[in-house]
């Protein structure tokens, strides 16, 4: 049934079916990618509104994103919140994944289900609950509340990627290091960490991406000061569609392409490190 090899016994109907299938897939790929590609030329539009066709090109909207104080503050806030949330979820998530890699640990499945649930529970429900709860703690309308909620949202990604990396890890290696006199910490740092760090890093990237893209929590938990990049875009989309939003969108696409490339490199490295052929 392979799609690329030649099919000598294929009937005409089957051949047309195969071509039809390939055409369908091409259309779906266009559907997937066209919106992302379409944003770029419009961001270069010289006009102050999203008109089409484009009359003149300029970089003025990119300049605005990098110079306008509302946008620069939003970028700074996004990086700060994303960084702190990533640090929190990666540290705690990696430690927990190490614990969860123990085979036949009682309650493992339940703990995993709990740790992954922030991915499933609708963000708006978490945001509303966090608003109520952090109000009683006095950290609603602050960076701290947003960081905590974002770290919770990023956590499942760290746990999933690090446990996946650890599932192929040969614990005999750390035992060998221990039997040769290494302390548990040294064995972790010198033997385990070099092998699992691609998993940790890709978990961290997932977590950062989640926080960097998150707007619902920021809408509910952020005061007027806590403007982030997505929140700035959201406000802009509800009020007036300025091409500056598209410029920000293009920058974010470039950012995701960067993340994706790093993740792919990490994945390959991970596969090579563990000697697994896929």
Partner 1 sequence: MSSDAPALIESTTIDPASGGGSLPPPGPSLNDDLRRRLRRTEWRGHLRAYLLIAPLLIFVLVSFVLPLSTLVYKSFHDPVVPTGLPLTYKALREWGGPRDEVPTEPVYAALANDMKAAKRDGRAAEIASRLNIEASGLRTTFMRAVRRIDSVESGPWKPYFAGVDPAWESPTTWATVRNLADTNHGLFFLSALDLRKSSQGDVVRQPAEQRIYVEVFIRTIGISALVALLCMAFGFAIAYLLAHAGDRTANLLMILVLLPFWTSLLVRTTAWIVLLQKEGVINSMLLGIGAISQPLPMMYNKFGVAVAMTHILLPFAILPMYSVMRQIPPSFVRAARSLGASPTTAFLRVYLPQCAPGVAAGVLLVFIIALGYYITPALVGGAGDQMISYFIADNLTRALNWGLASAMGVLVLAAVLLLYWAYDKLVGVTNMRLG
Q: Which is nearer to partner 1, 66 or 132 (CB)?
A: 132
Q: Which is nearer to partner 1, 80 or 251 (CB)?
A: 251
**What's the closest the beta carbon of residue 134 comes to partner 1, in angstroms?**
7
- Greatest alpha-carbon pair distance for the chain in Å reads 72
User: Strand locations in 16-154, DSSP E?
Assistant: none
Task: Judge contact between 157 and 207, C-beta under 8 A.
Answer: yes
Q: Which is nearer to partner 1, 39 or 273 (CB)?
A: 39
Q: Which of these, 228, 19, 194, 202, lies nearest to 93 by C-alpha position?
A: 202
**What's the closest the beta carbon of residue 194 comes to partner 1, in angstroms?**
19
Show the tokens assigned to 125: 């429900």
**What's the closest the beta carbon of residue 73 comes to partner 1, in angstroms?**
17
Q: Which is nearer to partner 1, 225 or 264 (CB)?
A: 264
Q: Which of these, 49, 159, 162, lies nearest to 113 by C-alpha position?
A: 159
- In sequence order, which residues have a C-beta less than 8 Å from that of residue 92 and are 6 or more positions away? 151, 155
């Amino acid at each position: 049934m392979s799609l690329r090899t030649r099919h000598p016994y294929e009937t005409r109907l089957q051949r047309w079916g195969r071509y039809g299938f390939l055409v369908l897939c091409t259309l779906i790929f266009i559907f997937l990618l066209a919106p992302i590609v379409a944003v770029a030329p419009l961001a270069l539009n010289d006009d102050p509104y999203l008109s089409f066709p484009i009359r003149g090109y300029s970089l003025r909207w990119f300049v605005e994103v990098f110079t306008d104080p509302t946008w620069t503050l939003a970028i700074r806030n996004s990086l700060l919140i994303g960084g702190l949330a990533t640090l929190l979820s990666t540290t705690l998530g990696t430690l927990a994944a190490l614990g969860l890699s123990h085979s036949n640990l009682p309650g493992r499945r339940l703990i995993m289900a709990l740790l992954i649930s922030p991915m499933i529970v609708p963000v708006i429900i978490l945001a509303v609950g966090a608003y109520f709860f952090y109000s009683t703690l006095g950290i609603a309308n602050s960076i701290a509340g947003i960081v905590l909620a974002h770290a919770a949202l990023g956590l499942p990604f760290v746990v999933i990627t690090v446990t996946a990396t650890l599932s192929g890890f040969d614990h005999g290696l750390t035992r060998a290091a221990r039997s040769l006199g290494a302390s548990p910490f040294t064995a972790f740092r010198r033997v385990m960490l070099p092998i699992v760090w691609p998993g940790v890093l890709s978990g961290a990237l997932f977590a950062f991406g989640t926080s960097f893209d998150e707007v619902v929590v920021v809408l509910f938990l952020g005061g007027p000061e806590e403007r982030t990049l997505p929140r700035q875009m959201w406000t802009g989309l509800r009020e007036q569609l300025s091409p500056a939003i598209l410029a920000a969108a293009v920058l974010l696409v470039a950012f995701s392409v960067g993340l994706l490339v790093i993740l792919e490199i990490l994945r390959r490295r991970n596969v090579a490190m563990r000697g697994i052929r896929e």
